[in-house]
Amino acid sequence: MLQSKLRSLTPKNDVISFLILAAILLVALPLLFDIFRLNLIGKYLTFAFVALGLVLSWGLGGILSLGQGIFFGIGGYAMAMFLKLEASSPENTKIQSTPGIPDFMDWNQLTELPWFWEPFHSLGFTIFAIFALPALFAYIIGAAMFKRRVGGVYFAIITQAIAAIMTILVIGQQGYTGGVNGITDLRTLLGWDIRTDSAKYILYFVNSILLLATLVVAQYIRKSKLGRLLVAMRDSEDRVRFSGYDVANFKIFIFCVAGVFSALGGAMFTLQVGFMSPSLIGIVPSIEMVIFAAVGGNLSIFGAVYGALIVNWAKTILSESYPELWLFAMGGLFIAVVLAFPKGLAGIYESYVQPLLNKKFKSTQDK
Amino acid sequence: MFADYTWAELGSIFAMQGFAGLILFSVLLLMALGLAIIFGQMGVINMAHGEFMILGAYITYLTSNLFSTYLPDLFGIYFFIAMIFAFIGTFLLGSLVEWTLIRHLYKRPLDTLLATWGLSLILQQLYRTVFGPREVGVTLPDWMMGSYAVSDSIEIPVNGMIVMVITLVITIGVFLFLQKSRRGKQSRAVVLNRAMAGAVGIDTARVDRFTFALGCGIAGIAGATFTMIGSTGPTSGQLYIVDTFLVVVFGGAASLLGTIASAFSISQAQSIMEFFMSGSMAKVLTLLTVIVILMLRPQGLFSLKVRR
């Protein structure tokens, strides 16, 4: 019984894809690149968390959120607040007029730590917040919208507006949030210096393993009854509703899961890159995250990882050498994915590469 | 907070602030009109709407340069000619975009959103390559500058009044066009029931292209009008897009009257709050209020009953 359940959860192709991805992330990339490039790849992979969440909510559930940057930001800022508090201990900040508070607060004439910063002294609370805050926030947005059967285009526009509001708020409240510069100059995690090369190696592996674990969770959701219901809802919402399912609750749940995934990515981003700023949570980054999922194929959880890697890598290469071309390429990519490859890389793989492989594989087996 | 002012001063402040709100209202309404046609009537999400506006602004900039170099005698009236050019330019680009891109995507609204976002990135970079990354401004003819003093403490800028008049004319024009003209009636018929409209002999594909291009053309006029009150840069369009969409959604997507009402309430709320707090907080509070109201009343202020 258990065995058959396990087998249905892990079709052979998916296991192979998973193992290949694990080998690439954990063996091939660390061997091929120096720590500078590896750190960059780690940064790209944090966006794969977001893309993975989008595959679940958009690809499976048909809910396109243009505000995933909000959740990325919640996770990233939670982690950054903890690290910043540790970096601004009274000894480190004794030249300030109020020692013991983050430097940007001191510059903005704040004399004590705001109340919502207090709990972030504790790592336990911070980790709890990285999971709980995005889930709560996604629940509120989701409940308000899906219970009233708002979906599709309207949901996309409203999540985008929320992302815009968050950015304006973070930039406007400089004294509490660090403003447009964000929270910078992060140094240690519980006394462990995260800026050294060895720390960057360790964080890369932590990030990759976390991503692989998230993939397993996503695969579980995809293969469960919930995943099937989501697909059914996407294709014919009324039928599912008339069969007696509460459509709204499933949508809220998957939106919360996508939010938590994004927040995880945000927290890992802060740890690896060493800062968090509003430039990662607004409208533009949020919609770029959608293109990662779209390029990978919005139905494929593995595609999401490759999509995030390839698009970000292309962005770095192009904007390093031909900054003018990048926006053209990005814009063209949006249009091409929509018009020519609606299923992204995964679709190309399934319709061209896989049949070829199967053929070869079969012919060698027959011999 | 009012104790420091005399009654007369307070009256002037509210009058000026109210007028600032009216200018903001005109700007929002002009931006939203084109979108109300494209999104409200056709259901197409055009994320490149802001870039169409910027195109109108750049065309105005080019026209003003042209007039000041070759036709300095006629410089006083260049603005109206620029508006016509802006309309034609954006109308043509709109038809082209509809033909190459949008028409393949009518049944996939979310994909339209992504594709037009891609288009907006391409246009932005195009503007940056052609016009440079810096913001450009136009020189206004003398009669459009200065301000008109109503009383000692109340002054009303002339360009603000011109913006309001243009908005009024365009709004009435669009309303009459949609309600009375043959083309307008056809496009409304296609929105209400595409199959039936096709059955009675309306070329729905052509009507779609015309309606989309018309919305883009109005965006171009809006952009031309903006040059009177602000400068234009390659990414200016992106700043407006969220506001514009919220105005249309808040008004109730298919209702022109709703768009007017929502532009009015959003702009007044924002300009009044701006007096009491920082501009960014006023904006945050306004947008939040709009979103909360939309969550309670998803169909917007005015909704048109349509059987879909």
pLDDT tens-place string over residues A125-158: 999 999 999 999 999 999 888 888 777 788 888 8
Residue A355 lies in a domain: no
In degrees rounded to 5, what are phi and psi of residue B147? Answer: -145, 165
pLDDT digits (tens, 9 = 90+) for A316-363: 888 888 877 888 888 888 888 888 887 888 888 878 877 787 777 665
pLDDT of residue A134: 94
**Interface residue of A145, A338, A343 to substitute, partner B, most B CBs within 10 Å:** A338
Cβ within 8 Å of residue B139, ≥6 positions away: B64, B68
Is the minimum CB–CB distance between B136 and chain A shorter than 8 Å?
A: no
In degrees rounded to 5, what are phi and psi of residue B45? Answer: -90, 110
Q: Is the pLDDT of residue A1 over 60?
A: no
In angstroms, the CA A73 to CA B139 distance is 42
Specify the number of domains making up chain A: 1
Q: How far is B127 from chain A (nearest CA, A)?
A: 11
Is the minimum CB–CB distance between B99 and chain A shorter than 8 Å?
A: no
* Closest CB from A157, A291, A338 relative to B245: A157
In angstroms, the CA B183 to CA B171 distance is 17
Residue B308 lies in a domain: no
pLDDT digits (tens, 9 = 90+) for B196-251: 888 888 888 888 899 899 999 999 998 888 888 778 888 887 777 888 888 888 88
In angstroms, the CA A193 to CA A360 distance is 50
Which chain B positions have a beta carbon within 8 Å of A158's beta carbon?
A: 249, 291, 294-295
Nearest to A261 by CA among A58, A13, A93, A106: A58
Closest residue, chain A, to B48 (C-alpha)? A331
- Domain of A245, in residue numbers: 2-324
Residue A354 lies in a domain: no
Amino acid code (one letter) for B100:
T
| Stronger pLDDT, B270 or A260, i.e. the higher one | A260
Q: What proportion of chain B, given as a percentage, has pLDDT over 70?
A: 94
Q: How far is CA A246 from the centre of its chain?
A: 27
Q: Is the pLDDT of residue B307 over 50?
A: no
Nearest to B228 by CA among B131, B165, B170, B163: B163
Whether residue A284 and residue B238 make contact (CB cut-off 8 A), yes or no, is: yes
* Closest CB from A169, A331, A337 relative to B121: A331
pLDDT of residue A118: 85
| Stronger pLDDT, B160 or A81, i.e. the higher one | A81
Whether residue A330 and residue B249 make contact (CB cut-off 8 A), yes or no, is: no
* H or E element at residue B157: strand B155-157
pLDDT digits (tens, 9 = 90+) for B101-125: 888 888 887 888 889 989 998 999 9
Give me the total of CB pairs closer than 8 Å, taking one residue from chain A and one from chain B.
113
Residue A80 lies in a domain: yes
- Domain of B175, in residue numbers: 18-156+165-296
Is the minimum CB–CB distance between A322 and chain B shorter than 8 Å?
A: no
Q: Could you tell me the end-to-end alpha-carbon distance of chain B, in angstroms, rounded to an integer?
A: 52
Q: What is the mean pLDDT of chain B?
A: 83
Residue B306 lies in a domain: no
Q: How far is A319 from chain B (nearest CA, A)?
A: 13
Q: How far is B123 from chain A (nearest CA, A)?
A: 8
Kindly state the average pLDDT of the residues A98-119. 83
In sequence order, the β-bridge partners of residue B136 are B232
Q: Where are the alpha helices (DSSP H) in B71-108?
A: 78-100
Which chain A positions have a beta carbon within 8 Å of B125's beta carbon?
A: 324, 327-328, 331
Is the minimum CB–CB distance between B245 and chain A shorter than 8 Å?
A: yes
Q: Tokens at residue A94, please?
A: 């004794």
Residue A350 lies in a domain: no
Is the minimum CB–CB distance between A170 and chain B shorter than 8 Å?
A: no
Residue B304 lies in a domain: no
Residue B7 lies in a domain: no
Whether residue B295 and residue A148 make contact (CB cut-off 8 A), yes or no, is: yes
Whether residue B298 and residue A64 make contact (CB cut-off 8 A), yes or no, is: no
Specify the number of domains making up chain B: 1
Q: Where are the alpha helices (DSSP H) in chain B?
A: 7-35, 49-70, 78-100, 109-131, 158-180, 182-192, 194-199, 204-226, 236-251, 256-276, 279-296
Residue A329 lies in a domain: no
ipTM over 0.90: no
In angstroms, the CA B236 to CA B233 distance is 5
Q: Is the pLDDT of residue B152 over 70?
A: no
Residue A265 lies in a domain: yes
Q: Is the pLDDT of residue A50 over 90?
A: yes
Q: How far is B44 from chain A (nearest CA, A)?
A: 9
Return left, alpha or beta for B229; rule: phi > 0 is left, psi -120 to 50 is alpha, else beta: alpha
